[in-house]
Chains A and B, each alone.
Chain A
Amino acid sequence: MEILETVFVRNSLVVAFAVVGLTIWISYFLADKLTKGRIHGSAIAIALGLLAAYFGGKATGGSTGVADITLLGGIGLMGGGMMRDFAIVATAFGVKLSELKKAGLAGVVSIFAGVIVSFVVGALVAVLYGYTDPVAVTTIGAGAVTYIVGPVTGSALGADSDIIALSVAAGLIKSILVMIVTPMVAKTIGLNNPQSAMVFGGLMGTTSGVAAGLAATDPKLVPYGAMTATFYTGVGCLLGPSILFFIVNAIL
């Protein structure tokens, strides 16, 4: 057992490659046999990943899901921000400039619309739950934008740590939901071309959610959605503690 642990820990990233590869193989097998290809294999793999993250978090009490289990620590590196961004940028290889230009305006509109709409919805829910303090309402609204905008806004405004935790939770729910629901509703919302993928990325904004949701829908759309999504958090951090807070402050 000790030898096993030594080998696994020393080669953590390699272990992660093997474990993820096995997970994807099982997922594609299940997608093929159980759903006859109706649910995409990568959607199942992502769902399995989230499920594993839940049990990993429950078992260890840590905050990085499966990666807190000693033997699977490499998952943390493989699925971390650095590798994610590296692979996302790589998907832009082969993207046509003309497609980007076509959706340019709609893409920019979607980023601002997405931040504002998510913020308003989150803030309204906070008010419905009885919050009247402008700082708390703004922080929770910002959490509904993304789980990065929430704490950035909250700490800029001096919100309590439990409100900040709440805003992170709201953002996490959003991100997880986008991962799972996107392939299911893709057809209904017309998510089948580069233009709508850019609008989708700008509206949802959660890079992880958009990245996983589009991967499970159609990997060809990933670069377009990811391109706009990566501007969303920046715009959210810009608007949250400033204009959006002033508006909330004026209303409440």
Chain B
Amino acid sequence: MIVYGVALLSACLILGMLIGELLGVALGVQANVGGVGTAMLFLVLASNSDKFKALVDGASGTGIQFWSAMYIPIVVAMAARQNVVAAFEGGMLAVVAGVAAVIVSFALVPVISKIGNSGTTSEESQ
């Protein structure tokens, strides 16, 4: 049943969000700490486990795949509802700060990826 997959996906999201909120409260921050990431982890675990086979195989799996495929359309809708006007009316300071942060962050991607790669190759050689 398609709905089993959708229900599993929903359960993962809600559980992850609850943990994210609790983590936020525990750390004293007004934000959900990694709720979505935790939910993704639950879904990865469930889809790699035998216990949940009935909820992720066959038709049930297509219920999850449908939402996965709807991801890009949803992102397009998300782009269409951004406050683009406010972003550009923030003035030059906002533009410079945003642009500079992006440039420096992009430049760091290959640097930090290398840390990870050297780490894994040493692990694999051990």
Contacts and interface: CB of A to CB of B under 8 A. Distances in A.
Nearest to A104: B116
A191 B105 CA distance: 13
A93 B64 contact: yes
A87 B90 contact: no
Interface string B64-94: 1111101111111111111111111111011
Nearest to A27: B76
B27 A238 contact: yes
Main secondary structure of the interface of B (DSSP, over half): helix
Interface residues of B, number: 80
A45 B81 contact: no
Interface in A129-171: 129, 140, 143-145, 148-149, 152, 156, 165-166, 168-171
Contacts, number: 346
A113 B20 CA distance: 21
A221 interface: no
Given A166-B94, A219-B71, 10 more contacts: A46-B79, A49-B80, A89-B43, A93-B47, A93-B64, A117-B108, A169-B89, A230-B37, A231-B33, A234-B29
Interface of B: 9-10, 12-13, 16-17, 20, 23-24, 27, 29-37, 39-41, 43-45, 47-48, 56, 61, 64-68, 70-91, 93-102, 104-110, 112-113, 115-117, 119-120
Interface of A: 16-17, 20-21, 23-24, 42, 45-50, 52-54, 56-58, 63-67, 75-76, 78-80, 83-97, 100, 102-103, 105-107, 109-110, 113-114, 117-118, 121-122, 124-126, 129, 140, 143-145, 148-149, 152, 156, 165-166, 168-179, 181, 185, 189-191, 195-196, 198-200, 202-204, 207-208, 211-212, 215, 219, 222-223, 226-231, 233-235, 237-238
